[in-house]
Structures are given as structure tokens and as C-alpha cells.
Structure 1
Amino acid sequence: MTLGKSHASLLILFSLALASCQSEDKPPLPRYTSEYRGYAGTPESNRSAARYFIEFRSRYALTYGHSYVVFGQMGKGGRPVTQEVAGLAPASNDPAPYVLGHIVPVPAETGASDGDLEEQYRSASWRVMLTEAEYRKTVAFIRQLQAKSKVWQASVYNCNAFVAEIARSMGYKAPAIWLRPQQFITKLREMNGG
């Protein structure tokens, strides 16, 4: 009986992973960035000191895409002076761990991956401007999340789940993790008034 339940659970997880891959992405919006000011619930009056940002992003890939965050300090003219990337992906460029990760957890990395900062691959984004205190709090959470996120599994703990944890730590609502990354970031922005 236990063996049957474990097979059923595996089948359900595999079905969720496949279902998330069935829709199609919208055309690219490489320069589209929606700016939103503040942590959820922060009064607008505290926004004048916003010199930092976090940008929730998705990009195209050979598969169904990737979601991640870019964060740093803004310079004059609204251009990033510093930027760093955090996201969750299998810790290999070899496709085998990625394919295997649709069935079982595989080792993960939590930094930048190929294509994250290349504009032609960006499919959706949502920028949130932060004060220095908000930025420090957000970066501290990202560092803790990076330290504890050791595995990637497509239907249980994927790149969207990683990004959702960051958004929730800031007081935002997050959509289901089984959406394609472009849809996930677009829905994240829409759910939170951005």
C-alpha cells in the first residue's frame, strides 16, 4: 500500500512539472520595467530616500525560462550603479541534472546564471525601489535564503519558489510556483499593484 502511495505522489509531482511547461510565453519585452515604490505597507512619504532596488525578473531559455532577482544601488539618471543576481537553478550546465530534477531534487546554485543580465533574453520584470534600510533587510534575507537553498526540484522547489520567498519576505503576495517564469513575474507584479 505504501509503495502505491509513493508512486501516486511521484506521478502527481511529475504531472505538475509537465503542466507548468505547457503554456507559451508572450513576445519579449526586453526593456519593459514596471517601477513600484516600497515594501508592502510602507507609506509613500518614506519613498524619497529610495536609492536602491530589487528587480524580480524572468528570462527566456532553451527550456521554459528562468526567474530570479537583480538587486543593487541606483545612480543618477535611474541606472544601476551596482547589481547582483540571485536565483535558484541546478548546479550544472549539463542538461542531465536539469532533466533529473523534474523527478528528484538535484544540487542547486543560487547566484547568476548564463543570460541573466543580457537584455535580449529578459521576458518580464518588476522593479521595486527601496530605502537603504529596506535594501539591507532584503539583502540579508536573500543571503540567508541562498545559504539554505541547496537543491532544485521542478515541481516542489524551483526558481519561482525561490523568488516567491523573497517577495513574501517583503510583504508581497506570490502566485503559484508552477507558472512559466514570464507568467510568474507578470502575475507577481499584477497581484501587488505594480
Structure 2
Amino acid sequence: MTFKGVHRLLLLVFMGLALAGCQTEDTPAKPQFVSTTSDSRNSNYFIEFRSRYALSYGHTYVVFGRTDGSGQMINPEVAGLHPKSTSAVPYVIGHFVPVPAETGWSDGDLEEPYRSASWRVMLSQAEYNKVVRKIRDLQANSKFWQAALYNCNAFTGDVARSMGYSVPPIQLRPQEFVTKLREMNEGRRSVSPSRVLTAS
């Protein structure tokens, strides 16, 4: 096979992987689930794996911080991987080749009408500090976004994996990714293998 033929084949593979997550439609917003670890019963630290609706197939990211006595977030932070532009052009190009990325807040991340699925895990302060260190490391080292190879699901999955969780395929739609992440891990595993999550 010629170089040109290999190039076309790789392009088709990348397009197929990128489009694999676009084959289903989002459903109405999923309920908000909250889990605790054995060390977090009296703690107000949390990380929330969240997806939101968008004009495309959506976005996956994490929200983290502390809650007040009623469970409301206090000055939450957001981390998620997305193209470094408000233009749709890098997003489209990123389905073929890696494009520059940023790893912070994006428009709509904390707006309730856009939330499509979420799973909040309450953490002890020590657990929380460990997760935040991993998030900061990912933010410092995640420079590119590519729809099939390293997308918002992959970034969020790396956070979850650092906590000892199993992670679903990154080609899923964001709503399905977050839902499956919770279903695969709730009540089974937690931020360290010796601790068990229980739904509350």
C-alpha cells in the first residue's frame, strides 16, 4: 500500500472512531447521583463527574470543591479538555488531527439546564487533595484535543482512573460516558481499593 493509501486508511479509521460516539441521541437529563467513601461521612469535599448538552454531542468534565450544609457547591472549580477556541473550526479540525486545547471552564459547564448526567463522590480532605493534585497534573500536561484519541471523556477518565475506578470507552457520548462510569463503579470501588462506595 502506498503512503497516500495508508494516509487515507488512517483518516477513515479516525473518522470512524470519532463518529462512533455520535450514533445515539442524548436522553432527558439523568438524576443527580451522590456517593460517599468510608472516610467522607462528615466531609464536605467532593468531585463530580458531569456531562452537559451542547450543539455538538456534548461535553464531559469534572467539578470539584466543597459544599455547604445543604449540599450546595461553594466556589466550585471546573476541569475539562476542549479545543482552545470559541470558534467551531478547531473543533471540526480536531476530528482529524490534534488541535491546541485548554483544560478549564467552558461556557455552560455550571448552568443547570445544560446538565445531562452527573455523579458526585464525597471525599475526605486527604482524598480530595490527592484528586486535585492529579487534576492539576493533567491540566499542566494536556495540551491537545483530538476527538478519537484524546477527548473530554479521556481527560475525565484519567481523573477517574487515578481514583481507582474502571473507565468506559472514550468514544461514547458524554451523557452515556458519565452514566456508565457511575454504573461501573458505584458501590464497588473508590479512591483506594480498600474503601467501598455506598450510594446515599
| TM-score, normalising length: structure 2 | 0.90
Q: Deviations over 1:82-137 (max 9, x none)?
A: 30000000000111100000000000010000000000000000000000001111
Counterpart residue number, 1:34: 33
Counterpart residue number, 1:181: 174
RMSD: 1.2
Matches within 5 A, 1:41-190: 44=38, 46-190=39-183
Counterpart amino acid of 1:35? V
Counterpart residue number, 1:41: none
Counterpart amino acid of 1:126? W
Change over 3 Å in CA distance of 1:132–1:2 after alignment to 2: farther
Q: What SS does structure 2 have at the residue aligned with 1:69?
A: strand
**Structure 1, gaps ≥5 residues long:** 39-43
Cα drift, residue 11 of structure 1: 1.2
Counterpart amino acid of 2:16? S
Counterpart residue number, 2:10: 9
**Structure 2, gaps ≥5 residues long:** 188-200
- What number of residue pairs does the alignment pair up? 186
Which ranges of 4 or more aligned residues in structure 1 deviate by more than 4 Å? none
Counterpart amino acid of 2:171? W
Residues in 1 aligned to 2:13 and 2:32: alpha-carbon distance in whole angstroms: 36
What percent identity do the matched residue pairs reach?
61
| TM-score, normalising length: structure 1 | 0.92
